[in-house]
């Protein structure tokens, strides 16, 4: 079973994550940030990764620490569950339309973390959440998961749709990349012999 449980505690946040890469998209997410919960539910449902998240953070200050640390914890859990990354497809890509919005996501589960973020917003907040925090979440996730992650919003007007298409794009690309390739299930997908 490709599963992991992570507990991360700092002076700013306390986060528990449990996930199963070979799940069916069952989620139970409570971060204290409604919009972030909604996005993590999308990530789980569309990646088919079962995901449980419990986060307590210093929300009286702002949402930054909880958002970033949730990305760190989920990324760490993905990395742990992947183990030696034997047999995975490794690469994934998705084009996600959402009404007037279109977003492209491509990734490499290479154990070489990198984020390209070509996403802009027309408003500083979505509800009570700062839109600048979404890049922080994806950066933290990519670093800890060991994923080269490219996200580009090609066009769109509604900020909610733009963010949601980014999370759904990550989900679909990740689902593809972490799938076990039946033609090469026992091999690391690299000429180096390791990822």
Q: Residue 49 in contact with residue 18, Cβ under 8 Å?
A: no
User: What single-letter DSSP state applies at residue 12?
Assistant: S
Reported pTM? 0.97
CA distance 143 to 146: 5
pLDDT at 17: 98
pLDDT at 191: 87
Cα–chain-centroid distance for residue 27? 14
Domains contained in the chain, CATH given: 3-178 (3.30.230.40)
User: In this model, does residue 159 exceed pLDDT 90?
Assistant: yes
Q: Residue 101 in contact with residue 151, Cβ under 8 Å?
A: no
Tens digit of each residue's pLDDT (9 = 90 or more) over 172-190: 999 999 999 999 988 989 9
Nearest to 49 by CA among 153, 179, 175, 180: 175
């Amino acid at each position: 079973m490709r599963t992991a449980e992570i507990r991360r505690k700092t002076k700013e946040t306390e986060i528990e994550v449990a996930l199963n890469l070979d799940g069916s998209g069952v989620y139970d997410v409570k971060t204290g940030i409604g919009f972030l919960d909604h996005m993590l539910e999308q990530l789980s449902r569309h990646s088919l990764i079962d995901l449980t998240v419990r986060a307590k953070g210093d929300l009286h200050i702002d949402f930054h620490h909880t958002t970033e640390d949730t990305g760190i914890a989920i990324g760490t859990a993905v990395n742990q569950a992947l183990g030696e990354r034997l047999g995975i497809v490794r690469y994934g890509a998705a084009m996600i339309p959402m009404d007037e919005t279109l977003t492209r996501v491509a990734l490499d589960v290479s154990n070489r973390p990198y984020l390209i973020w070509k996403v802009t917003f027309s408003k500083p907040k979505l509800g009570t959440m700062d839109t600048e925090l979404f890049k922080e979440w994806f950066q933290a996730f990519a670093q800890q998961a060991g994923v080269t992650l490219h996200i580009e919003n090609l066009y769109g007007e509604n900020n909610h749709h733009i963010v949601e298409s980014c999370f759904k794009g990550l989900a679909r690309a990740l689902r593809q990349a972490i799938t076990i390739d039946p033609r090469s299930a026992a091999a690391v997908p690299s000429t180096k012999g390791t990822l």
